Each structure stands twice: as C-alpha cells, then as structure tokens.
C-alpha cells in the first residue's frame, strides 16, 4: 500500500512538472512572437493604457513614425531619463548601484531604469508588481535589446509612455500641452514634457508642478551637452 501511495505521489509530481514545463514553454514562445510583432507593429494596447480605460479615462494616443517625432523630443527624453542609452545593453549598472546606496540611506526612493527597461515595462508588463515583475522586466529588456534596434526602442518609448493623465506618447502630449505636433516642439517644450516622467500624474505641466519647474531647465542644459555626441546624433536622425 505504501508503495502504491509513493508511486501515485510520484506520478502526480511528474504530471505537475510536465504541465509547468508546457506552460513555461508556451509562454516563452508567445513572448517571442509578440516581441517580434512589436518590432514592426505598434502594440494594439498596453496594460497601462487598458488600466486607464478601465478607470474611466478617455485615453489620448497617436502612434507616429520615428522621423515624425522631431529631434528635440528624442534628445529631451535621453537627456532626462537615460544619457547612456546609445551605449549600454539595456542596463546601467553604475546607476543601479548608486540608486541602491541612495535608497539604503534615504527615505526617498531613486530609480535607475533605463529607457529600454521602461519600454519593457510599458509595452509588455504593468506598473507595479515587485520582484516578479522586475524579473520579467529583465527578460524583456534583454530580448528587445537583442531583437530590436536602438531607434525602435526609442520610438516605442516615445509612443507608449504616459505623459499626462490618460495621455500616451509624445504626439498626443505635444498636442495636449502645446497644441502642436511633436516635430514642432521647441527645446523648452520637449524638456518640460520629459520632466513629467516618470510620474506625469503628479509632475504636471499645467498647472506647473515644482518638479517640472526646476527640472526642465536642467534637462535643457543636458540637451546642450549631449547633442554633439556622435552616438546621440545618430539616434536623432
């Protein structure tokens, strides 16, 4: 009888592991297909956008081509969010170490997510979720860095990031805040939109929040410092 029980338990464990392996394999294959899909086609909707809809917001979104975004918008988000974007492989380990040291000593938390990591989160995942979501974020960041170009990652970032309450992407943000297309944004206007990141609900342009007021002049100075960099210039084309 004991042998039968042991055999039954072993069979159940084997069935469970076979099931878990199939779930993992199919999930991985689906993720590869969707990553390749998004290499050429913009996502129909993201989890963050869907969450806004479910909370009753009328989302504003207008996906545009990379050449329609204008150089000021591209330069502003790199200056404000990830100045090493052209050079890293998706992760800025020095900034991660600095953020960890800061967070150990201070109550105010500092992030160190690159543009690639934010694209992984905004396109494929959700905004909160602790270590489990972070683990998935690492996977998707690694994949898009190897399967997409840097220009595609930057384009996706500028198309799907929330830049106002229910306002997604640089084109919608430019029209929402300044009544003009993204390509026509001035240095100052692009820097102000970049200053809203990563929390455009709290860090607002209208009314002008304290963070945006002090941060956009800093971003403008960084834009001036970065624009001569040949790797940056290549991404602005």
How are strands ordered across the β-sheet holding 167-168? 60-61, 167-168, 162-164
Does residue 221 lie in a domain region?
Answer: yes
- Has residue 4 got a pLDDT over 80? no
- Has residue 110 got a pLDDT over 60? no
- Has residue 108 got a pLDDT over 50? no
Q: What is the pLDDT of residue 2?
A: 66
Is the distance from CB of 171 to CB of 62 less than 8 angstroms?
yes
What residues are paired with 168 via a beta bridge? Answer: 61, 162
Q: List CB contacts of 159: < 8 A, sequence separation 6 or more.
A: 42, 63, 64, 168, 169, 170, 171
Q: List CB contacts of 228: < 8 A, sequence separation 6 or more.
A: none
Does residue 114 lie in a domain region?
Answer: yes
The pLDDT of 31-40, averaged and rounded, is 97
Rounded CA gap, 128 and 155, in Å? 23
- Has residue 216 got a pLDDT over 70? yes
Does residue 73 lie in a domain region?
Answer: yes
Does residue 6 lie in a domain region?
Answer: no
Does residue 53 lie in a domain region?
Answer: yes
Does residue 64 lie in a domain region?
Answer: yes
Domain count, the chain: 1
| Strand ranges for the chain from DSSP E | 60-61, 162-164, 167-168
Q: What is the pLDDT of residues 180-192, one digit of tens each?
A: 999 999 999 999 9
- Has residue 165 got a pLDDT over 50? yes
Is the distance from CB of 231 to CB of 74 less than 8 angstroms?
no
Tell me the pLDDT of the chain averaged across its residues: 89
Rounded CA gap, 204 and 213, in Å? 9
- Has residue 96 got a pLDDT over 90? no
Residue 105 binned pLDDT confidence (cut-offs 50, 70, 90): low
Which domain, by its residues, includes 68?
47-236
The pLDDT of 53-60, averaged and rounded, is 89
Does residue 87 lie in a domain region?
Answer: yes
Tell me the two tokens of residue 162.
Answer: 């929330």
Residue with tokens 């039954």: 8
We report the CATH number of the domain holding residue 136 as 1.10.3810.10
Supply the DSSP symbol for 55.
Answer: T
Does residue 67 lie in a domain region?
Answer: yes
Q: Cα 8 vs. chain centroid, distance in angstroms?
A: 47
């Amino acid at each position: 009888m004991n042998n039968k029980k042991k055999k039954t338990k072993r069979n159940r464990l084997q069935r469970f592991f076979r099931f878990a392996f199939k779930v993992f394999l199919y999930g991985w294959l689906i993720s590869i297909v969707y990553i390749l899909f998004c290499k050429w086609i913009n996502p129909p909707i993201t989890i963050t956008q869907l969450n806004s809809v479910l909370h009753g917001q009328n989302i504003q979104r207008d996906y545009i081509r990379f050449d329609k975004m204008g150089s000021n918008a591209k330069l502003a988000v790199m200056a404000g969010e990830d100045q090493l974007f052209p050079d890293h492989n998706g992760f800025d380990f020095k900034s991660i170490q600095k953020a960890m040291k800061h967070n150990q000593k201070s109550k105010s938390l500092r992030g160190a997510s690159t543009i690639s990591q934010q694209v992984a989160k905004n396109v494929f995942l959700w905004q909160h979720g602790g270590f489990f979501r972070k683990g998935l974020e690492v996977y998707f960041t690694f994949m898009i860095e190897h399967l997409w170009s840097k220009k595609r990652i930057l384009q996706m970032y500028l198309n799907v990031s929330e830049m106002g309450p229910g306002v997604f992407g640089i084109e919608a943000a430019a029209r929402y805040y300044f009544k003009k297309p993204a390509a026509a944004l001035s240095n100052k206007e692009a820097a102000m939109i970049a200053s809203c990141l990563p929390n455009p609900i709290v860090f607002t342009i209208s009314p002008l929040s304290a963070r945006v007021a002090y941060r956009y002049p800093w971003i403008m100075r960084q834009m001036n410092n970065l624009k001569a960099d040949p790797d940056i210039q290549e991404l602005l084309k």
